[in-house]
Amino acid sequence: MNTDIKIYIAGHKGMVGSAIWRSLEAKGYQNLIGRSSAELDLRNYQDVVTFLNSEKPDVVIDAAARVGGILANNNYPYQFIMENLQIQNNLMDSALKSGIEKFIFLGSSCIYPKLALQPLKEEYLLTDTLEPTNEWYAIAKIAGIKVCEAIRKQFSKDYVSLMPTNLYGTHDNFDLNTSHVLPAMIRKFHEAKLNNHQSVTLWGTGTPMREFLFVDDMAEAVVFALENRLPDSLYNVGTGVDLTIKDLAEIIQKIVGYKGDIIWDTTKPDGTPRKLMDVSKMHALGWQHQVKFEEGIKKTYDWFLENIDNIKKVTI
C-alpha cells in the first residue's frame, strides 16, 4: 500500500479512531484527514456527500458511532439505532457514489445472537434473536455489514466489515452514565480508593464471560485490512480468550490498588451470558493481537490517571 494515499478516518477523535490514526502515522501514512462532529455532522447526508466529493479520499475508515453500555442502550434506544444508521449509511452511500474503492466498516460483537454457540463464528450472524439490552445498536451494525456486503457483491469494491470484541484502552469513555464495563470499573475502583469507600457495587452476578481487546491491537487489525484485500466481507477481531466479569473486577481492583469489598447487585441485568469471538479467519490471514490483558489494563489506568482532570466528573 502506497503511504501517500489519502485516508479519511470518521470518528478520528474517539478511542478507536485516534488509535487508528496513531498506528497509521507510525507506519508512515501522512495523508490522513479527519473532521470533528462540530466540523462535519455525519448524520447529515448532504454534508457527507459534499465533504467526500471535495476531499476525494482513496480510503474511508468508519470508526464513527454512537456507543455506550447497557444503561445507555436501554435509555436511548431511538438514538442508538437511528444515529448509527444515519452515520454509516451516509458514509457508505457517499463513498460508493464518489468512486471510493476501499471502505473499512467497524462494528461490534453484539451483532451475534444472544445464545449463539461459542466461540462466535461469522456465519452465526442472523441465525437467532439478539440480546435485548443492546439490540438497537446491534441492528444498526448488522445493517452496515449487509450494506458493505451488497456493495462488494454488486460493485466488486473492497468494502469490508471488522467486528471487534469488547475494546478498551487509552482515550476510553469513563463517564459512568455511558461507559462500558471495563472503564466504568476503573473509574469506580479509583474513586472508591480515593474516598476510602468500604465497598464498590457492581451490576449483575459477575458470572457472564467477556473477551477484551486493547484498542491498539484493533488499530493494527484495521491497518492489516487496509494493506491487504481480504477475501471475505466480514471478519471477527479479538483475542479468542475470555474471562468472567468477576475475574475482570478482581484484576482491575488489584491494578488500581483498591482494598475494599465488591458487592454484586443481582437485581441489575447481566446481559449476554458469554461473548467469545472465533478469530480463526483473521489468524489464518496473518493478524493476531499483541497486547497482554493485564498490560493493557495498566496502560489504560495510567492514561486515566494522566488525564483525570479532563475526564467528565460523575459522582458515585
The reply to whether 67 sits in an annotated binding site is no
The reply to whether 54 sits in an annotated binding site is no
The reply to whether 106 sits in an annotated binding site is yes
The reply to whether 13 sits in an annotated binding site is yes
The reply to whether 23 sits in an annotated binding site is no
Confirm whether 8 is a catalytic residue. no
The reply to whether 17 sits in an annotated binding site is yes
Give the 3-state DSSP-derived string for the chain, with helices as H, strands as E and coil as C: CCCCCCEEEECCCCHHHHHHHHHHHHCCCCCEECCCCCCCCCCCHHHHHHHHHHHCCCEEEECCCCCCCHHHHHHCHHHHHHHHHHHHHHHHHHHHHCCCCEEEEECCHHHCCCCCCCCECHHHCCCCCCCHHHHHHHHHHHHHHHHHHHHHHHHCCEEEEEEECEEECCCCCCCCCCCCHHHHHHHHHHHHHHCCCCEEEEECCCCCEECEEEHHHHHHHHHHHHHCCCCCCEEEECCCCCEEHHHHHHHHHHHHCCCCEEEEECCCCCCCCEECECCHHHHHHCCCCCCCHHHHHHHHHHHHHHCHHHCCCCCC
The reply to whether 165 sits in an annotated binding site is yes
The residue annotated as part of the active site, out of 8, 29, 112, 137, is 137
The reply to whether 141 sits in an annotated binding site is yes
The reply to whether 170 sits in an annotated binding site is no
The reply to whether 218 sits in an annotated binding site is no
The reply to whether 109 sits in an annotated binding site is yes
**Binding annotation:** 11-17, 106-109, 141, 164-167, 180, 188, 203, 210, 270
Residues acting as catalytic residues: 137
| Binding site listing for NADP(+) | 11-17, 106-109, 141, 164-167, 180
